[in-house]
Chain A
Amino acid sequence: MKPTSGFQQHVDPDLIARLQHGDLAAFEAVYRQFERAAWTLALRLTGRADVAHEVLQEALLKAFERAGQYRGDAPFAMWLRKLVVNEALMQLRHERLHMIEVFADDHADDGAPVPWVLVDAAVLDHALNRLPDTARAVLWLYHVEGCTHVEIAEQFGRSVSFSKSQLARATRRLRQLLQHSGEDMPCMIDSTTP
Chain B
Amino acid sequence: MHDRLDHSMNEDAALAAALRALPAATPPADAWARLAARIVHRRRIRTGLRIALPAALAAGTVLAFAWPRGPGHQPSPPGHPVAQSAPAKAPAAGGLASLQAHSRQLQAWVHALDRDGPPLNGDALAQAVALQDRIGLIDLKISANRDPGTAASLWQQRNALLERLGLLHLQPDSVAEQHAAILQINTMVL
Contacts and interface: CB of A to CB of B under 8 A. Distances in A.
B32 A121 contact: no
A53 B22 contact: no
B31 interface: yes
Contacts of B35: 31, 56-57, 60-61
Contacts of B25: 36, 39-40, 43
Contacts of A16: none
Contacts of A64: 39
Contact of B24 (A6, A28, A140): A6
Given A39-B26, A116-B15, A4 B20 contact: yes
Contacts of B13: 1
Nearest to B32: A31
A66 B26 CA distance: 25
A102 interface: no
A74 interface: no
Given A36-B25, A117-B14, A143 B19 contact: yes
Given A36-B26, A39-B27, A40-B25, A140 B39 contact: no
Given A113-B7, A116-B14, A144-B19, A35 B36 contact: no
Contacts of B38: 57, 61
Given A116-B15, A143-B19, A53 B26 contact: no
Contacts of B72: none
